[in-house]
């Protein structure tokens, strides 16, 4: 099941002159980037700046309108069967985990193995336990998603993403909805698994402070392009106004988000919404009373 790259000298991922469109709208343009094998790369940036769109291009979900996308030296194919083979070598941790609620943790992890291999059931069972052990959840094999905490569910989803031993891992907002402790566990796991399994990892995140300590390089997307590429130290030392605003979470700066800086149509829509909004919130008559003990 391991998927080996054809040449260890080529980058794990390379985009050259890429333009990515959604319908008639250009999301990113003039994208040139390389992700070295064995590295952890963070893709940061404001909401809607094209971070997840880059992941869609790497997995072949979105074909570039211009340029080329290569994974381990091979252009991302368009033919369905070839694309499926490529995707077997890419593990993806989804924002919402994507666990099937009617299956146990073990059954969720086993799903890729049962779908894409012809391994006998006893071997699959052992592999499932190995993957769950790798994320510290071997004893959760028989638990259902509803019986798991948010952090545990995220780790089960990570174990499933690793089921086929992919050399490339993509993490789409891996910390969404997690408390600080669970977030720390997930980031430590990502770093440890990347090192021990020899993976290449790409993390899309807006959790800057939690992400920077474990990554080797950082890309920042904004204004339909990549506005920064370098190390975490170089990013934090940058005096660029856009980067400083993003890192510090400052309300004023090149990154506009308030109604005054929106496009005219957006401002009009916001104004209409404000006019239509009630001036006072009232309790819903049918809403049940919640006692302190019930909480």
Residue 276 banded pLDDT, cuts 50, 70, 90: very low
pLDDT tens digit string along 25-72? 999 999 999 999 999 999 998 888 889 999 999 999 999 999 999 999
Look at residue 3 in the predicted model and tell me its pLDDT: 52
Look at residue 8 in the predicted model and tell me its pLDDT: 67
> For residue 155, is it within any domain?
no
Q: Which two tokens stand for residue 250?
A: 């400052």
> For residue 288, is it within any domain?
no
> For residue 65, is it within any domain?
yes
Look at residue 271 in the predicted model and tell me its pLDDT: 45
Q: What is the CATH number of the domain that holds 196?
A: 3.40.50.300
Least confident of 26-40, 60-74, 160-174, 258-272: 258-272
Strand partners, 114: none
pLDDT tens digit string along 211-248? 999 999 999 999 999 999 999 999 999 989 989 988 88
For the entire predicted model, the pTM comes to 0.82
> For residue 3, is it within any domain?
no
pLDDT tens digit string along 178-221? 899 999 999 999 999 999 999 999 999 988 999 999 999 999 99
> For residue 6, is it within any domain?
no
Averaged confidence pLDDT in the chain: 85
Higher pLDDT, 142 or 48: 142
How confident is the model over 6-23, as a mean pLDDT? Answer: 87
Residues 6+ apart with CB under 8 A from 9: none
Number of domains in the chain: 1
Higher pLDDT, 292 or 85: 85
> For residue 224, is it within any domain?
yes
Strands 13-22 and 25-35: antiparallel
The helix/strand/coil state of 245 is helix
Q: d(Cα 174, Cα 231) in Å, to the nearest integer? A: 20
> For residue 137, is it within any domain?
no
How confident is the model over 266-292, as a mean pLDDT? Answer: 42
Look at residue 80 in the predicted model and tell me its pLDDT: 87
How confident is the model over 245-264, as a mean pLDDT? Answer: 66
> For residue 222, is it within any domain?
yes
Q: Which two tokens stand for residue 10?
A: 């080529």
Q: Which domain holds residue 17?
A: 13-89+166-276
Strand ranges in the chain using DSSP code E only, listed in sequence order:
13-22, 25-35, 40-44, 66-71, 74-75, 90-93, 168-172, 200-204, 217-222, 225-230
Look at residue 277 in the predicted model and tell me its pLDDT: 45
**Half-sphere exposure in the Cβ direction for 151 (13 Å, CA):** 15
Q: With 60 as the cut, is the pLDDT of residue 286 above it?
A: no
């Amino acid at each position: 099941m391991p998927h080996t790259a054809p040449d260890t000298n080529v980058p794990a991922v390379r985009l050259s002159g890429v333009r990515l469109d959604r319908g008639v709208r250009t999301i990113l343009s003039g994208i040139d980037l390389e992700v070295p094998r064995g590295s952890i790369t963070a893709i940061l940036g404001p909401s809607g700046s094209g971070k997840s769109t880059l992941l869609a291009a790497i997995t072949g979900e979105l074909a570039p309108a211009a340029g080329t996308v290569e994974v381990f030296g091979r252009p991302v194919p368009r033919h369905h069967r070839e694309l499926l083979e490529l995707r077997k070598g890419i593990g993806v941790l989804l924002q919402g985990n994507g666990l099937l609620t009617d299956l146990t943790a073990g059954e969720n992890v086993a799903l890729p193995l049962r779908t894409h291999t012809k391994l006998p059931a006893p071997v699959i069972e052992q592999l499932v336990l190995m993957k769950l052990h790798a994320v510290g959840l071997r004893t959760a094999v028989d638990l259902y998603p509803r019986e798991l905490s948010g952090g545990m569910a995220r780790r089960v989803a990570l174990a499933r993403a690793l089921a086929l031993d992919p050399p490339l891992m993509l993490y789409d907002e891996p910390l969404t909805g997690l408390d600080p402790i669970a977030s720390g566990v997930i980031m430590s796991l990502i770093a440890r698994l990347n090192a021990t399994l020899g993976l290449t990892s790409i993390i899309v995140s807006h959790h800057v402070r939690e992400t920077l300590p474990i990554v080797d390089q950082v890309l920042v997307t904004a204004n339909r392009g990549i506005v920064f590429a370098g190390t975490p130290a170089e990013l934090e030392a940058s005096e660029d106004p856009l980067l400083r605003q993003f890192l510090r979470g400052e309300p004023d700066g090149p990154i506009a988000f308030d109604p005054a800086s929106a496009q005219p149509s957006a401002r009009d829509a916001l104004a209409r919404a404000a006019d239509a909004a009630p001036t006072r919130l009232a309790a819903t008559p049918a809403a049940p009373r919640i006692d302190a003990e019930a909480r």
